[in-house]
Amino acid sequence: MEEERLIPLSALQHYVYCPRQCALIHIERFWAENYWTAQGRVLHQRTDEGKPEQRANTRIERSVEVISHELGVQGVLDVLEIDLRDMTFTPVEYKRGKPKVTNCDRVQLCAQALCLEEMRGVKIDRAALWYWEVRQREWVELDAALRAETLDVISQVQALFSSQRTPRAVYGKHCLACSLRDECQPKAMQEDRVDQYLRGMLEP
Ligand code: SF4
């Protein structure tokens, strides 16, 4: 029987941020630690150290392993809050920075919720992102649009992993905070492509 190849949930976040970053980390196994990733790691270690606890009517579980065989994804959720009065499940993912323009964090969070729905037979209507830099909780509605986007990203990442090909760099604002900027050299790659294009135009 063919071994099941599950996609790490973090790959979804990396892919929405930048497909090349996703491939460098998960296909080429590149990882560069910079100030931001180190800070994020320490933040996650803090949540990892906690044990389950109960506060008033809420049970709090930490570092919850989640998996969906149906979707082919797996990972760890930072915190799961369960309201014991009505058994409402609220997944919470901790992030180092602040709310982002793209849906990269929301897609990862939605995939975590989809795993929980499959594992625990519940329906989860909303989840939350907690941003350390601004000390702010952002509520995320798990509506049909976000669920569809998440499923789409999962199939795109599956296709990327099957191809085993790293996409070319597309330089943009997102490169400024990318931990792999030194290794990727996105500007140089882009200039190289422009050079190649111009040479192609000038050659007979
Ligand atoms: S530097 Fe830019 S193009 Fe390169 S991996 Fe990072 S975000 Fe992607």
Tell me which residues have their CB closer than 6 angstroms to ligand 1: 18, 20-21, 24, 169-170, 174-175, 178, 180-181, 184, 186
Domain ranges across the chain: 7-164
Query: Which candidate, 36, 164, 32, 161, places its Cα nearest to that of 100?
Result: 36
Residue from 22, 166, 181 to probe ligand 1 pocket by mutation (most atoms less than 8 Å from CB): 181
- Residue 169 Cα: closest atom of ligand 1: 3
Sequential DSSP letters for 42-55: HHHHHHHHPPPEEE
User: What pLDDT, in 10s, does the model give residues 167-190?
Assistant: 999 999 999 989 899 889 888 766
Ligand 1: centre distance to CA 17 (Å): 9
- Residue 18 Cα: closest atom of ligand 1: 8
User: What pLDDT, in 10s, does the model give residues 60-92?
Assistant: 999 999 999 999 999 999 999 999 999 999 999
- For the segment(s) 7-164, the CATH number from 3.90.550.10, 2.60.120.680, 3.90.320.10, 1.10.3720.10 is 3.90.320.10
**Number of residues in the chain:** 204
Q: Please measure the distance between the N-terminal and C-terminal CA atoms of the chain and give it in whole angstroms.
A: 54
Q: What average pLDDT does the structure give for the chain? A: 88
Q: Is the pLDDT of residue 108 over 70?
A: yes
pTM for the structure as a whole: 0.85
Average the pLDDT over each of 43-47, 133-137, 160-164 and give the range with the smallest value.
43-47
What is the reported pLDDT for 1? 43
Q: Is the pLDDT of residue 20 over 70?
A: yes
> What one-letter code names the amino acid at 181?
R
